[in-house]
Amino acid sequence: MLRKNISRKCMNYQQLPQSGKTGDVSSKDGTKSWFYSDIVKDHFFHPRNFMHEDGDTSIYNAIGKVGSPACGDELRVWMKVDPKTECILDFRWQTFGCGSAIASTSMCSVMVTENDGMTLEEARAMKPQDIMERLGGLPARKFHCSVLCDKALRDAINDFYRRIGKPEKIIKEASRMIDPISKVTDHDIEEAVLEGAQTLETVQAKTKVGIGNPGVLPAVEELIRFYREKYFG
């Protein structure tokens, strides 16, 4: 119940200026503003566990990467994992992303290393909503930033198990083709929902799914409902 309440709060975190105050970020026409919590601002201006350019990456035994620099949202993480206990001893990161991506990854790095470090099993059980809770919320249009961090963490966990020869513990997210004509997968629809598309029409505007293949629309609508419930409650 707590996670659903947090998700609803995040959906409503985009709001109009109140009492003459503008938000931290405003739309070009000035009609909408987005507000960030003090915790988000603190982690943006003072990011924890950032990997500097002169950092020694050779001491880490797990590396994760998601996104693309061409899209402006690449994220890389380095983890030092105790081979015996599988606890995360250190977590470093770099990102080419916005302030929300920086704050989300900074908070994630704190969460997985505090109290002597999460086990990999505990880290896998962590959800983007947990990062959102610790940050005090993010604008709904920035929720995908916490998901990006979550995916980089999972990629690093898979890399650790790959390095120590335990392929049975690797968990991969395989994409499923939804519309062969527009080449849209379930992951494309997931990303569209995370970026704010909440209806079939807005998802189609972003992805072109089903435009020339209306037979796939029932499956698309089902996925939209699934991802809305998964991330926003």
pLDDT digits (tens, 9 = 90+) for 206-222: 999 999 999 999 999 99
Number of other residues whose CB lies within 10 A of the CB of residue 7 = 23
Q: What is the dihedral of CA 120, 121, 123, 124, to 10 degrees?
A: 120
Mean per-residue pLDDT for 148-157? Answer: 94
Contact between 123 and 89 under an 8 Å Cβ cutoff? The reply is no
Per the CATH hierarchy, to which homologous superfamily does domain 177-232 belong?
A: BFD-like [2Fe-2S]-binding domain (1.10.10.1100)
DSSP 129: H
> Is 145 considered catalytic here?
yes
Q: In this structure, which CATH number among 3.90.1010.10, 3.50.50.60, 3.60.110.10, 3.40.640.10 belongs to the domain 2-169?
A: 3.90.1010.10
- The span from the CA of 167 to the CA of 183, in Å, is 30
Task: Tell me if residue 10 is catalytic.
Answer: no
pTM: 0.74
Asked if residue 125 has pLDDT above 70, the reply is: yes
Looking at 10, 87, 145, 149, which residue is catalytic? 145
Q: Which of 71, 87, 98, 149 is catalytic?
A: 71
DSSP secondary structure, 33-49, as one string: EE---HHHHHHHHS-SS
